[in-house]
A and B are shown apart, each in its own frame.
Chain A
Amino acid sequence: MNLADGVQLVSLALLSAMMLGAALGVVLLTNVVYSAFLLGGTFISVAGLYLLLNADFVAFAQVLIYVGAVNVLIIFAIMLVNKRQDFAPVAKGWIRKAATAVVCLGLFALLTTMVLVTPWALSPEMGAAAGAIVTIGQHFFTDYLLPFELASILLLMALVGAIILARREFLLEEPELATEQRVLTLPERPRELAGAAPGASDRTTTTNPSDQNN
Protein backbone atom coordinates (compact mmCIF):
# COMPACT_ATOMS: atom_id res chain seq x y z
CA MET A 1 0.00 0.00 0.00
CA ASN A 2 1.57 3.25 -1.09
CA LEU A 3 0.72 6.73 0.07
CA ALA A 4 -2.06 7.36 -2.44
CA ASP A 5 -3.87 4.20 -1.44
CA GLY A 6 -3.61 5.14 2.22
CA VAL A 7 -5.00 8.60 1.54
CA GLN A 8 -7.81 7.08 -0.47
CA LEU A 9 -8.68 4.63 2.27
CA VAL A 10 -8.63 7.27 5.00
CA SER A 11 -10.78 9.65 2.98
CA LEU A 12 -13.15 6.80 2.14
CA ALA A 13 -13.51 6.01 5.85
CA LEU A 14 -14.05 9.66 6.75
CA LEU A 15 -16.60 10.24 3.99
CA SER A 16 -18.52 7.08 4.79
CA ALA A 17 -18.65 7.95 8.47
CA MET A 18 -19.90 11.43 7.59
CA MET A 19 -22.46 10.08 5.14
CA LEU A 20 -23.88 7.40 7.39
CA GLY A 21 -23.96 9.68 10.42
CA ALA A 22 -25.71 12.44 8.52
CA ALA A 23 -28.17 9.99 6.99
CA LEU A 24 -29.01 8.56 10.39
CA GLY A 25 -29.48 12.10 11.63
CA VAL A 26 -31.85 12.83 8.75
CA VAL A 27 -33.99 9.87 9.66
CA LEU A 28 -33.81 9.87 13.43
CA LEU A 29 -33.74 13.50 14.57
CA THR A 30 -37.03 14.98 15.67
CA ASN A 31 -36.45 18.51 14.41
CA VAL A 32 -37.03 18.52 10.69
CA VAL A 33 -34.82 21.59 10.12
CA TYR A 34 -31.80 19.72 11.48
CA SER A 35 -32.75 16.87 9.19
CA ALA A 36 -32.75 19.16 6.18
CA PHE A 37 -29.31 20.55 6.93
CA LEU A 38 -27.92 17.10 7.63
CA LEU A 39 -29.35 16.04 4.28
CA GLY A 40 -27.05 18.61 2.73
CA GLY A 41 -24.17 17.01 4.61
CA THR A 42 -25.14 13.64 3.20
CA PHE A 43 -25.19 15.02 -0.33
CA ILE A 44 -21.78 16.62 0.07
CA SER A 45 -20.33 13.39 1.44
CA VAL A 46 -21.75 11.47 -1.51
CA ALA A 47 -20.13 14.02 -3.82
CA GLY A 48 -16.81 13.35 -2.09
CA LEU A 49 -17.31 9.64 -2.67
CA TYR A 50 -17.91 10.39 -6.35
CA LEU A 51 -14.57 12.19 -6.42
CA LEU A 52 -12.98 9.04 -5.01
CA LEU A 53 -14.59 7.14 -7.88
CA ASN A 54 -12.86 9.27 -10.56
CA ALA A 55 -16.03 11.14 -11.47
CA ASP A 56 -15.45 14.83 -11.13
CA PHE A 57 -18.27 15.97 -13.39
CA VAL A 58 -20.93 13.98 -11.56
CA ALA A 59 -19.58 15.14 -8.21
CA PHE A 60 -19.89 18.71 -9.42
CA ALA A 61 -23.42 18.06 -10.68
CA GLN A 62 -24.30 16.44 -7.37
CA VAL A 63 -23.22 19.48 -5.39
CA LEU A 64 -24.87 21.84 -7.85
CA ILE A 65 -28.22 20.07 -8.17
CA TYR A 66 -28.68 18.28 -4.87
CA VAL A 67 -27.15 20.75 -2.45
CA GLY A 68 -27.91 23.83 -4.49
CA ALA A 69 -31.40 23.02 -5.72
CA VAL A 70 -33.04 20.10 -3.98
CA ASN A 71 -31.84 20.87 -0.49
CA VAL A 72 -32.72 24.54 -0.76
CA LEU A 73 -36.14 23.53 -2.10
CA ILE A 74 -36.67 21.23 0.87
CA ILE A 75 -35.66 23.97 3.31
CA PHE A 76 -38.10 26.35 1.61
CA ALA A 77 -40.84 23.74 1.88
CA ILE A 78 -40.09 23.31 5.57
CA MET A 79 -40.36 27.06 6.04
CA LEU A 80 -43.65 27.14 4.14
CA VAL A 81 -45.25 24.35 6.12
CA ASN A 82 -43.75 25.51 9.36
CA LYS A 83 -46.38 24.31 11.73
CA ARG A 84 -45.44 23.25 15.18
CA GLN A 85 -47.59 20.34 16.06
CA ASP A 86 -47.08 17.32 18.15
CA PHE A 87 -48.05 14.23 16.24
CA ALA A 88 -50.55 12.11 18.06
CA PRO A 89 -48.95 8.81 18.91
CA VAL A 90 -50.24 5.87 16.95
CA ALA A 91 -51.48 2.84 18.80
CA LYS A 92 -48.95 0.04 18.56
CA GLY A 93 -46.54 2.39 16.88
CA TRP A 94 -43.51 0.49 18.10
CA ILE A 95 -44.53 -2.59 16.12
CA ARG A 96 -44.09 -0.71 12.89
CA LYS A 97 -40.74 0.70 13.98
CA ALA A 98 -39.47 -2.69 15.09
CA ALA A 99 -40.73 -4.45 11.99
CA THR A 100 -39.15 -1.83 9.74
CA ALA A 101 -35.87 -2.05 11.60
CA VAL A 102 -35.87 -5.84 11.26
CA VAL A 103 -36.69 -5.64 7.56
CA CYS A 104 -34.02 -3.01 6.94
CA LEU A 105 -31.35 -4.93 8.83
CA GLY A 106 -32.32 -8.10 7.01
CA LEU A 107 -32.14 -6.38 3.66
CA PHE A 108 -28.77 -4.91 4.57
CA ALA A 109 -27.44 -8.31 5.60
CA LEU A 110 -28.75 -9.84 2.40
CA LEU A 111 -27.19 -7.17 0.23
CA THR A 112 -23.89 -7.36 2.11
CA THR A 113 -23.60 -11.10 1.67
CA MET A 114 -24.54 -10.75 -1.99
CA VAL A 115 -21.87 -8.10 -2.48
CA LEU A 116 -19.21 -10.12 -0.70
CA VAL A 117 -20.02 -13.44 -2.32
CA THR A 118 -20.40 -12.32 -5.93
CA PRO A 119 -17.20 -12.56 -7.98
CA TRP A 120 -17.12 -9.17 -9.64
CA ALA A 121 -15.57 -8.97 -13.09
CA LEU A 122 -13.29 -6.09 -12.25
CA SER A 123 -11.95 -4.23 -15.21
CA PRO A 124 -8.16 -4.27 -15.32
CA GLU A 125 -7.62 -0.84 -16.82
CA MET A 126 -7.98 2.35 -14.89
CA GLY A 127 -10.43 4.98 -15.94
CA ALA A 128 -9.26 8.32 -17.18
CA ALA A 129 -10.84 10.87 -14.91
CA ALA A 130 -10.12 13.84 -17.14
CA GLY A 131 -11.67 12.32 -20.23
CA ALA A 132 -14.84 11.21 -18.51
CA ILE A 133 -16.76 14.37 -19.24
CA VAL A 134 -15.98 14.08 -22.95
CA THR A 135 -17.22 10.49 -22.90
CA ILE A 136 -20.38 11.50 -21.06
CA GLY A 137 -21.07 14.19 -23.63
CA GLN A 138 -20.58 11.75 -26.47
CA HIS A 139 -22.98 9.33 -24.82
CA PHE A 140 -25.56 12.06 -24.38
CA PHE A 141 -25.56 13.05 -27.99
CA THR A 142 -25.19 9.69 -29.67
CA ASP A 143 -26.64 6.60 -28.07
CA TYR A 144 -28.52 8.24 -25.21
CA LEU A 145 -29.99 11.08 -27.22
CA LEU A 146 -33.61 10.00 -26.82
CA PRO A 147 -33.47 9.67 -22.99
CA PHE A 148 -31.66 13.00 -22.87
CA GLU A 149 -34.44 14.77 -24.75
CA LEU A 150 -37.08 12.90 -22.78
CA ALA A 151 -35.45 14.10 -19.57
CA SER A 152 -35.69 17.67 -20.77
CA ILE A 153 -39.39 17.23 -21.58
CA LEU A 154 -39.94 15.63 -18.19
CA LEU A 155 -38.21 18.51 -16.46
CA LEU A 156 -40.51 20.92 -18.29
CA MET A 157 -43.54 18.88 -17.25
CA ALA A 158 -42.34 18.82 -13.65
CA LEU A 159 -41.84 22.59 -13.74
CA VAL A 160 -45.37 23.24 -14.99
CA GLY A 161 -46.85 20.64 -12.68
CA ALA A 162 -45.12 21.98 -9.60
CA ILE A 163 -46.29 25.51 -10.36
CA ILE A 164 -49.88 24.37 -10.92
CA LEU A 165 -49.92 22.23 -7.79
CA ALA A 166 -48.39 24.82 -5.52
CA ARG A 167 -50.36 27.76 -6.90
CA ARG A 168 -53.08 29.20 -4.76
CA GLU A 169 -56.48 29.15 -6.32
CA PHE A 170 -58.61 32.24 -6.19
CA LEU A 171 -62.13 31.13 -5.54
CA LEU A 172 -65.11 33.27 -6.30
CA GLU A 173 -66.39 33.60 -2.80
CA GLU A 174 -70.07 33.01 -2.45
CA PRO A 175 -71.38 33.73 1.01
CA GLU A 176 -72.69 30.28 1.77
CA LEU A 177 -69.68 28.66 0.18
CA ALA A 178 -67.28 30.72 2.19
CA THR A 179 -68.33 29.24 5.50
CA GLU A 180 -67.65 25.71 4.50
CA GLN A 181 -64.57 26.72 2.55
CA ARG A 182 -62.99 28.34 5.55
CA VAL A 183 -62.40 24.99 7.13
CA LEU A 184 -60.20 23.82 4.33
CA THR A 185 -58.12 26.90 3.65
CA LEU A 186 -54.74 27.48 5.09
CA PRO A 187 -54.60 29.86 8.03
CA GLU A 188 -52.37 32.46 6.50
CA ARG A 189 -52.44 36.07 5.68
CA PRO A 190 -54.30 36.96 2.48
CA ARG A 191 -52.05 38.08 -0.23
CA GLU A 192 -51.73 41.78 -1.00
CA LEU A 193 -52.51 42.00 -4.66
CA ALA A 194 -51.42 45.59 -5.19
CA GLY A 195 -48.32 45.53 -3.05
CA ALA A 196 -46.78 42.39 -4.38
CA ALA A 197 -44.47 42.63 -7.31
CA PRO A 198 -45.96 41.01 -10.40
CA GLY A 199 -42.96 38.82 -10.96
CA ALA A 200 -42.85 37.53 -7.44
CA SER A 201 -44.11 34.02 -7.18
CA ASP A 202 -46.52 32.64 -4.64
CA ARG A 203 -43.79 31.22 -2.51
CA THR A 204 -42.05 34.46 -1.86
CA THR A 205 -45.22 36.32 -1.02
CA THR A 206 -46.63 33.60 1.15
CA THR A 207 -46.12 34.60 4.69
CA ASN A 208 -45.17 32.27 7.40
CA PRO A 209 -48.30 30.39 8.40
CA SER A 210 -47.22 30.01 11.96
CA ASP A 211 -47.54 33.65 12.80
CA GLN A 212 -51.25 33.35 12.24
CA ASN A 213 -51.47 30.18 14.18
CA ASN A 214 -50.19 31.31 17.48
Chain B
Amino acid sequence: MQLQYFLILAAALFCIGIYGLINSRNAVRVLMSVELMLNAVNLNLMAFSNYLDPIDVKGQVFTVFVIAIAAAEAAVGLAIVLAIYRNRDTVDMEQFNLLKW
Protein backbone atom coordinates (compact mmCIF):
# COMPACT_ATOMS: atom_id res chain seq x y z
CA MET B 1 0.00 0.00 0.00
CA GLN B 2 2.96 2.31 0.49
CA LEU B 3 3.64 2.59 -3.22
CA GLN B 4 0.18 3.99 -3.86
CA TYR B 5 0.72 6.70 -1.24
CA PHE B 6 3.80 7.96 -3.01
CA LEU B 7 2.21 7.79 -6.44
CA ILE B 8 -0.87 9.72 -5.33
CA LEU B 9 1.39 12.26 -3.64
CA ALA B 10 3.35 12.71 -6.86
CA ALA B 11 0.13 13.08 -8.83
CA ALA B 12 -1.06 15.81 -6.46
CA LEU B 13 2.25 17.64 -6.75
CA PHE B 14 2.11 17.40 -10.54
CA CYS B 15 -1.42 18.80 -10.65
CA ILE B 16 -0.43 21.70 -8.39
CA GLY B 17 2.46 22.35 -10.75
CA ILE B 18 0.17 22.40 -13.79
CA TYR B 19 -2.20 24.81 -12.07
CA GLY B 20 0.65 27.15 -11.22
CA LEU B 21 2.15 26.86 -14.68
CA ILE B 22 -1.01 28.01 -16.38
CA ASN B 23 -2.29 30.56 -13.89
CA SER B 24 0.86 32.41 -12.89
CA ARG B 25 1.39 35.93 -14.11
CA ASN B 26 4.94 36.22 -12.84
CA ALA B 27 7.49 34.55 -15.13
CA VAL B 28 9.67 33.39 -12.23
CA ARG B 29 6.70 31.67 -10.65
CA VAL B 30 6.12 29.79 -13.89
CA LEU B 31 9.66 28.43 -13.63
CA MET B 32 9.00 27.44 -10.03
CA SER B 33 5.92 25.52 -11.16
CA VAL B 34 8.02 23.69 -13.73
CA GLU B 35 10.38 22.69 -10.93
CA LEU B 36 7.42 21.37 -8.94
CA MET B 37 6.35 19.21 -11.87
CA LEU B 38 9.87 17.87 -12.31
CA ASN B 39 9.94 16.99 -8.63
CA ALA B 40 6.68 15.09 -9.00
CA VAL B 41 8.17 13.05 -11.83
CA ASN B 42 11.25 12.38 -9.72
CA LEU B 43 9.09 11.18 -6.85
CA ASN B 44 7.34 8.77 -9.21
CA LEU B 45 10.64 7.41 -10.45
CA MET B 46 11.98 6.97 -6.94
CA ALA B 47 8.84 5.18 -5.75
CA PHE B 48 8.96 2.77 -8.67
CA SER B 49 12.66 2.25 -8.11
CA ASN B 50 12.15 1.35 -4.48
CA TYR B 51 9.09 -0.84 -4.74
CA LEU B 52 9.35 -2.49 -8.14
CA ASP B 53 13.10 -2.60 -8.81
CA PRO B 54 15.01 -2.54 -5.54
CA ILE B 55 18.01 -4.56 -6.69
CA ASP B 56 19.44 -2.54 -9.54
CA VAL B 57 18.03 0.88 -8.82
CA LYS B 58 17.56 2.27 -12.30
CA GLY B 59 14.93 4.74 -11.16
CA GLN B 60 17.49 6.50 -9.00
CA VAL B 61 19.81 6.78 -12.00
CA PHE B 62 17.05 8.41 -14.01
CA THR B 63 16.27 10.70 -11.11
CA VAL B 64 19.86 11.91 -11.03
CA PHE B 65 19.64 12.61 -14.76
CA VAL B 66 16.40 14.52 -14.31
CA ILE B 67 17.93 16.57 -11.49
CA ALA B 68 20.87 17.49 -13.74
CA ILE B 69 18.58 18.47 -16.61
CA ALA B 70 16.39 20.47 -14.22
CA ALA B 71 19.38 22.43 -13.01
CA ALA B 72 20.32 23.29 -16.60
CA GLU B 73 16.72 24.19 -17.36
CA ALA B 74 16.50 26.49 -14.37
CA ALA B 75 19.70 28.31 -15.34
CA VAL B 76 18.66 28.84 -18.96
CA GLY B 77 15.08 29.69 -18.05
CA LEU B 78 16.07 32.33 -15.54
CA ALA B 79 18.54 33.80 -18.04
CA ILE B 80 15.72 34.04 -20.57
CA VAL B 81 13.51 35.72 -17.97
CA LEU B 82 16.28 38.24 -17.29
CA ALA B 83 16.72 38.93 -21.00
CA ILE B 84 13.00 39.42 -21.50
CA TYR B 85 12.86 41.68 -18.48
CA ARG B 86 15.60 43.82 -19.96
CA ASN B 87 13.75 44.14 -23.23
CA ARG B 88 10.17 44.50 -22.08
CA ASP B 89 10.63 45.95 -18.59
CA THR B 90 8.08 43.60 -17.10
CA VAL B 91 7.74 40.03 -15.89
CA ASP B 92 4.05 39.78 -16.68
CA MET B 93 3.38 36.69 -18.73
CA GLU B 94 0.43 38.37 -20.41
CA GLN B 95 2.67 40.95 -22.04
CA PHE B 96 5.14 38.46 -23.47
CA ASN B 97 3.47 38.35 -26.86
CA LEU B 98 6.47 38.90 -29.08
CA LEU B 99 5.92 35.70 -31.00
CA LYS B 100 2.19 35.47 -30.58
CA TRP B 101 0.79 37.41 -33.53
Chain A interfacial positions (CB closer than 8 Å to B): 8, 12, 16, 19-20, 23-24, 26-27, 32, 35-36, 39, 42-43, 46, 49-50, 53-55, 57-58, 61-62, 65-66, 69-70, 73-74, 76-78, 80-81, 83, 85, 87-88, 90, 96-97, 100-101, 103-105, 107-108, 111-112, 115-116, 120-123, 125-128, 132, 135-136, 139-140, 144, 147, 151, 154-155, 157-159, 161-163, 165-166, 168, 184-187
Contacts and interface: CB of A to CB of B under 8 A. Distances in A.
Given A46-B43, A96-B22, A115-B4, A73 B75 contact: yes
Contacts of A73: 74-75, 78
A97 B18 CA distance: 11
B82 A165 contact: yes
Interface string B26-53: 1111011101100100110011011111
A53 B80 CA distance: 35
Given A26-B20, A39-B35, A116-B4, A83 B90 contact: yes
Interface string B58-90: 101101110111111111101111110111011
Contacts of B13: 19-20, 23, 42
Q: How would you classify the secondary structure of chain A's contact residues: helix, strand, loop or mixed?
A: helix
A184 B86 CA distance: 7
A40 B92 CA distance: 23
A127 B54 contact: yes
Interface residues on B, range: 35 or more
B53 to A, nearest CB: 7
Nearest to A5: B2
Given A122-B51, A123-B52, A115 B85 contact: no
A57 B69 contact: no
A96 B25 CA distance: 12
A54 B50 contact: yes
B78 to A, nearest CB: 4
Nearest to A169: B86
A70 B74 contact: yes
Contacts of A97: 23
Nearest to B86: A186
